[in-house]
Structures are given as C-alpha cells and as structure tokens.
Structure 1
Amino acid sequence: MQLWQQHRQDPAQAFLNGPASGQLDLPRCREAGFAGGLFAAWVPSPQLDPASRVPDLTIDARFLLEGTQKHADFSPTPALEFARDVTIGMMAFLLRIEAQSQGAVKICRSAQQIREAMQNHALAIVIHIEGAEAIDPDLYLLDVLFQMGLRTLGPVWSRPNIFGHGVPFKFNTSPDTGPGLTDLGVKLVEACNRKHIMVDLSHLNEKGFWQVADISNAPLVASHSNAFSLCAQSRNLTDAQLGAIQQSGGFVGLNFATPFLREDGTRDANTGTGDYLRHLDYLLEKLGEDHVGFGSDYDGASMAPFMKDVSGLPVLINAMREAGYGEALVTKIAHKNWISVLERTWGE
C-alpha cells in the first residue's frame, strides 16, 4: 500500500533503489539481513462524507452490517471492483519489482524456492493479501491470483466483508467480538485448502478462528499476533487459541506493533526489546520452539523507536542472544520455522 500511495509513477524503482516511503526497500533489507517475508496487498478503507451524506461509490452497501455505523471506529468495506483493481495493481508492483531486479528479488511459490532465493542472496517475496475484498463470491479471482503467485491469504482485515468478520482494534476486549465466517467464508477456506493457500488467522475474530480450526486440514497460522494474556488487545490470541495452533502444528508470528506488545495497550514510544522478548518467551512456552517466528507488521502499525523500520531487526536478534537464546533457536525464530510451516501448508 505504501508503494501504491506514494510511488505511483515508478514503485519498482523506488523499492529496488530506495528510499521508499515505508519501512522496507531492498537496500535497507540487505543492510538489515532481511531475507524475505509475506508482502501484503491491503485495500484501504473508503470514507463516507458525513457532511453531505453522499455515499462513496467505492463502498458496497451490501457489506454494511446493522449497527456497525454507530461505532466511531467503523471501517467501511471497499466495493468489489475497487478492491479488485487495487489488489491486482499492488500484485503487479511485485511482479514488476521482480522483473526489474536483475535477480535480486524472487517471488517464491514453494519452500524450496525460498531456500534457493536465500542461497542466492535474493529477497524472497511471498505474495499475500490481507482481507479478501477483491475476491468475488464465485471465487473466480482466487484462481487468477493463485496463478499470479498468491500463496497466503487473510479472509478478513479488521472489518466485515462477504467472507467473515474481522476483529476490531480494541484494548481490554476479548477476540470474541461477534459472528465469524459466513457461508462464503467457509467456501473460501475450503478452496484455499484445496489449492494449498495458507489461511492467515491474525485478523479473524474468535468465532471465525474456531470455524477455521474445525474445517481446515492445514496448520493454523496467525502471521502477526501476540499473546492476549500479556496484552489484552482483541487482535491478540487467547491461551485456548494458542493451544489449538500448537495442536495443529501451526505457527504464530510475533507482531512488532507497540499496542499489541505493551501491557497497557498503548502506542508509547518507551517500548524496548524487553516487551518483544516477554511475548516471545510466552509464545515459546505455549507453542514450542518450532512454531514461533517474526510477524513484524511492517508498514502496518506503530513500532517502537528502535524498530522504526527493518533496520531494527538486528537489534531485536542481538537482544535475543543477550537474553540467552541459543543460535539454533534464533535461527528457527528468524526464518526456519516460517519456511517449515509454509512447506507443511503448501506441500512443496
């Protein structure tokens, strides 16, 4: 989204040569030792004009749930056509970045391709969409996106769509915030299972989480979520959810955002590596050392000052070593566990 908003003229060159406006570009990734990750297409929420009461045409009124407009933090759902155009445009940016990179960037569709990219010192990009607003009820676009390279998908962001209900950003509120998947959402999860597309649970509310746990035959993965017991954000995971993820052989990626780390749930700049390690230790206790990694949420959330961009990764890794994390465990958290769960999900 940062490339889409800030570098419409030449997003590929902005990313490849830097400086890009967000928290990631190729020069900074190389300097930080960032090997790759999930690169998300996310569709911004359209706005309503409260003065004129004229609806924004990019909003599909069918998705507006009764009562949701009464909440100040309500985020309207983009219309299908708008979401489709934005999502395909963002994915095209990734395709152009790869094409213009002279081998420095590789879009990876298998775990083996990720390993090969790392061996070749190429940035490994896995295409992800956060919120499936672009996908039609018949799932035709899912086939197209898969052929473009899509390999992971979050059915919802923190707003409702035709597939389900996202969990809002609220402190001292449990993830149990209302209805879960719709019938179309169940259909989408089943289609992702057949195609071996990873289903990301990080923005799904608790009822939707348990629906996926019941119907999915893949490991349960929350790509960027933390422990609710340590930070009572509705976006974080309860002990019961962590237990289900562990039982499925799944994975949780540590979210670097300060409101999901701090015990008080604030965006306080006085957030250090200790807050990160507290959640890592808890997740390791609940899930085991083979099922935890970094989830980051770069370009999507408020970060601690030392994690202002990707250059903060070495700081966190050094803090892990100083706290007694052995090299084998550091390596697992840094990349091996991610590759392993993707391999188990993708089957290749």
Structure 2
Amino acid sequence: MPTPPIFDGHNDVLLRLMKDTSPDPVARFLEGGGPGHIDLPKARAGNLAGGMFAVFCPSPDERADFTTARDMSNTPLPPELPMDLARRMTTHQVALLLRLEAASNGAVTVCRSAADIRAAMARGSLAAVLHIEGAEAIDADLHFLDVLYAAGLRSIGPVWSRTNVFGYGVPFRFPHSPDLGPGLTDAGKRLVRACNEKRILVDLSHITEKGFWDVAALSTAPLVATHSNVHALTQAPRNLTADQLRAIRDSDGMVGLNFATGFLRADGQMRADTPIDDMVRHLDGLIEALGETRVGMGSDFDGALVPADIGDASGLPRLFEALERHGYDAPLLEKLAHGNWLSLLERTIG
C-alpha cells in the first residue's frame, strides 16, 4: 500500500538551520540539496506531512556529540545553560521557522491547533508545530512563556538531558534506569500548571523518572513522550519503564518512536547499521503496552544517528513497508503515521 501521510513527533531541523553557514539556510531547506535528514524535497519524497519542530539550545562547551557518539555508557552531562544565551538561540530558531513559513509560498505552515494541522496536510503544506526541548530560555516567572506562546509554541519539554530551573534531565547512560536524579522544582510545577492552562503539550522524553511522576501527579492533560522507546528492550534511561508506559496508557497519552539507534539497539550503541527490525521490535513493544491508538513516530531527525536503511525523511516509506510485511494492516499504519498524533493533539493543544 502507499505510505500514508506521516506526522512526526520530534525533529531538530531548526538547530541544524541555525548552525548552517550557507548564505540562505531557509532557501536551502525549501530547495533541498543540503545536508541533514529533513528538507522540503526530502519530506515530500518520504510523505512526511508535518511534525513537531523543536527549538534546542546546545551548550557552548558540550563535551560530546550526541548525534554520532558510539558509546553513551558514561557520556558527561552538559552544564546548565545561561538564560541570555538560551534566549538568543531560541529567538534565532523561532525566527527561522517563521521565515520558513513566510518564504515558502504556502509550502510550510506553522500550526497552532490540530485543525491547523489537518488543513495544512489537506492542501499539501508541511505542518510545523513549534516545540521547545529544554526550557532554559523561559524565566521562573514564566513571562517569556507568554511571548513564545504568541509566536506559536504549543509543545514544551521542561528539560533536556541537563539541569535547569524547572527540573532535572536524564543523563546519557547505558545501561541504566531513568531514575537518575530529582524531579521538578517548584518553578517546574508552575510551568506544568501554566502549560495545562494554555493547552501547551508537556513532553516527558528527557525528564528523570521522578520528574515524570511529578508531572503525572500534577497534569490534567494526557502524558506524552514525543520521542522515547521501551526500556525493557533497550535499557537506556531515555526509554520508558513498564510503569511509565502504563501511566501514559491510563492517561490516554502518546509515545513517538525514537529512531536514534542508541535507543533502539539492545546493546545501546549508536550505529548506522542498526536494522529496521529493531524499530519494528520497539513498535511492537509500544503497541503491546499502550494499545494501537497511543503510538506514533518521533524520529529525532537532525538530532540523532538513525538507521542507514532509513537515512533521512525520504526513507520513511521503507519503515512502513517493513511494518506492512510484519503484518500491520492499513488502518493501523494510518494510526501510526498520523491518526494517533492528530487525535492526541486535539486533546491537548486543541
């Protein structure tokens, strides 16, 4: 069967464009031919119809390249990021997304609701939802949250894999459980409540296990991990335990399959020769734990080393072909491709 339109729970395209030293990174994204996992031609070739476009602010003295590191058994945690630096990088990346939309002649749409996403997909426009991965740019009083919401922010991970004013992120360790530190701070609890009030999705993909349960106790919204896998299959702390998966299921939440090979392989290694079968194995595990209506894609394109057999967004049909051979029928493939994400977003951002 043809690959259904795909809505993806996480990419790091905006970080890649911020680092792009070409004369016009926006034009290069729209025209294609540059590096990276996603540009407009690659998205169209792979039937990638939209996704969560993350703003991520790297540490200036980061001591490891998490997209290529082969062994993450003892990767040091980056230090806290100064707010002024985080705001400069956040503003830059948000501006890049807005410029993409403005320069695209309708080919890219910044979406603020599930209805916006459906409308963009119906007219063949790439549907982009603004997400923040690590809230270092936001002050504890949450004034900047209002600014970002006005710019289109509809999804936020309070922490990346480092500490900030809102809580504690999961370091890169293997093998290890996600129980690697404290949870939300008081400011983090205020952030979760504010996100519920504004209908901003709270992403749990990088938070410690204690932080996960803090959010679960506070939040009135479905629990969501936009790009995580099954801890029982790959014992990386970024993956979800059986208890966490059960809580997500009980909240009618959602998990997006992370394509990062270190979160797919049983040995936790970042290797491009990771087979698509490992992706299928984790999807089987997620569906078994969550049911068919709470699982989707969360590729981490442009933020991780993905299997060479996928390569980039144009290779997405190869995953869906493998799932069809594995026995997934057309209705399930449609749910995994976009149906489940759109249903979840209707229940979170509106």
Q: Is TM > 0.5 for Structure 1 vs Structure 2? A: yes
Aligned match for 1:16, one of 2, 26, 30: 30
CA distance, structure 2, for counterparts of residue 45 and residue 173 of structure 1: 24
Map of 1:158-307 to 2, 5 A cutoff?
Answer: 158-307=161-310
Indicate yes or no: 2:130 matched with 1:123: no
Alignment deviations for residues 37-87 of structure 1 (CA, whole Å, 9 cap, x no partner): 0001100112189xxxxxxxxxxxxxxxxxxxxx86130122101101100
> How much is the aligned-residue C-alpha RMSD, in angstroms?
1.3
- Contact kept in structure 2, 1:3 and 1:21, CA below 8 Å: no
Please tell me whether residue 31 in structure 1 is matched to residue 60 in structure 2: no
State the 1:137 CA deviation: 1.3
| Aligned-partner SS, 2:309 | helix
Q: Would you say how many aligned residue pairs link Structure 1 and Structure 2? A: 326
Q: What is the TM-score of this pair, normalised by structure 1?
A: 0.92
Q: Which runs of 5+ in 1 are unaligned?
A: 50-70
Inter-CA distance 20–39: structure 2 relative to 1 (3 Å threshold): farther
Report runs of 4+ in structure 1 exceeding 3 Å deviation: none
State how far apart, in whole Å, the 2-side matches of 1:312 and 1:30 are.
11
2:314 aligns with 311
Is the 8 Å Cα contact of residues 226 and 236 (structure 1) preserved in structure 2? yes
Are 1:46 and 1:76, in contact at CA under 8 Å, matched by a contact in 2? Answer: no
Kept after mapping to 1: 8 A contact 2:221/2:348 = yes
In 2: Cα distance, 1:8 partner to 1:176 partner: 41
Cα offset, 1:20, TM superposition: 3.3
For the residue of structure 1 that corresponds to 2:48, the secondary structure is: coil
TM-score (normalizing by structure 2): 0.91
SS at match of 2:45: helix
The answer to which of 17-26 and 134-143 deviates more is 17-26
Aligned to 1:108: 111
Q: Which amino acid aligns with 2:24?
A: D
Identical columns (%)? 54
In structure 2, runs of 5+ residues without a counterpart are 1-14, 64-73
Rounded Cα–Cα distance in structure 2 between residues aligned with 1:314 and 1:74: 35
Cα distance in 2 for partners of 1:8, 1:23 equals 17
* Secondary structure of 1:296 counterpart: coil
Q: State how far apart, in whole Å, the 1-side matches of 2:289 and 2:319 are.
A: 21
Amino acid at match of 1:22: G
Counterpart code for 1:35: A
Contact residue 271 and residue 305 of structure 2 kept, 8 A: no
Shift, 1:8, TM fit:
6.2
**Is contact 2:77-2:161 (8 Å) kept?**
no
CA contact (8 A) 2:77 2:172 kept: no
Indicate the structure whose relative CO is greater, using CA pairs within 8 Å and at least 6 residues apart. 2
Question: What CA deviation, in whole Å up to 9, does each residue of 1:238-284 have, x standing for no partner?
Answer: 00000000000000000001110011111233311110010000100
